Amino acid sequence: MSTAPERPSTVPGVALVTGAARGIGAEVADALARAGHEVVGCDLGEVVSRDGVAMRTCDVSDAGAVQEMVDAIEAENGPVEVLVNNAGILRNKPLRHLTSDEIEAVIRVNLLGTIWCTQAVGTLMTARGYGRVISMASITATKGEAHTSAYAASKGGVIGFTRALAREYAHRGVTVNAVAPGFIATDQTRDVFVGEVGDAVMAQIPARRLGTPADIAAMVVFLAGSASSYVTGQVLTVDGGVT
């Protein structure tokens, strides 16, 4: 009888979090650090490391840059055991107003960035026989939301990618899951969920509150740990009961 794969050591390994400079990504990175992981985060532009989180600059929409980053982390920090594909962008417009460049940017960051990061890290995880891949989906992929068509399409792709890869990696000791946030209050959304828009959003949430980055981070920490060893190919929704 086979048993759950064992970690290479008793000390949590390196966790790589993309889009870790702010918002959900920052909270996820900090929560993983508190859980004992050595955390390396990445984001666009100039980044600043903080307690428990070493930051690197990387554009996840560039496959070559992703591979260079992963190679450097493996050489300098150690084996990446947890990958959190959090980097994402949203262009909130009617489809007819989206330019081809905007649509391509959303797909490249949200979907292709997830695939490229997972390919670079997952190849190493499967060779070592252990790993956790956690990607950010969204309730827009299944529920739908006006003016988010390109974003919803990219997140739907993340869900399909997650479920397919989970079957590919399961026997190699690597779990692959996604987290689908609902309406989350961040620095980027604070000015969006106000007035009539805020009232309309709140009316959709049975829990009668917006989610927080900490709500999402708690689910990621669970999926990154040993307690989730028999959970793979799942999309875990954190939305206060919206869907």
Whose tokens are 């990504």? That residue is 25
Q: Say how far apart CA 158 and CA 60 lie, in whole Å.
A: 14
| Distances 168 to 80, 133, 175, 178, 202 between C-alpha atoms, Å | 19, 13, 10, 15, 39
Amino acid at 10: T
Lookup: tokens for 48: 């600043």
Q: Say how far apart CA 113 and CA 62 lie, in whole Å.
A: 7
Q: Say how far apart CA 215 and CA 180 lie, in whole Å.
A: 11
Neighbours of 62 (CB within 10 A): 15
| Distances 39 to 74, 84, 118, 146 between C-alpha atoms, Å | 12, 11, 17, 36
Q: Is 130 a catalytic residue?
A: no
- φ/ψ of 211, rounded to 5, equals -75, 165
Lookup: tokens for 109: 């960051």
Mapped onto helix, strand or coil, the DSSP state of residue 132 is strand
Using CB atoms within 10 A of its CB, is residue 87 exposed (0-12), middle (13-18) or buried (19+)? buried
- Annotated active-site residue in 130, 151, 169, 230: 151
C-alpha torsion 188→190→195→201, nearest 10: 80
Active site residues: 151
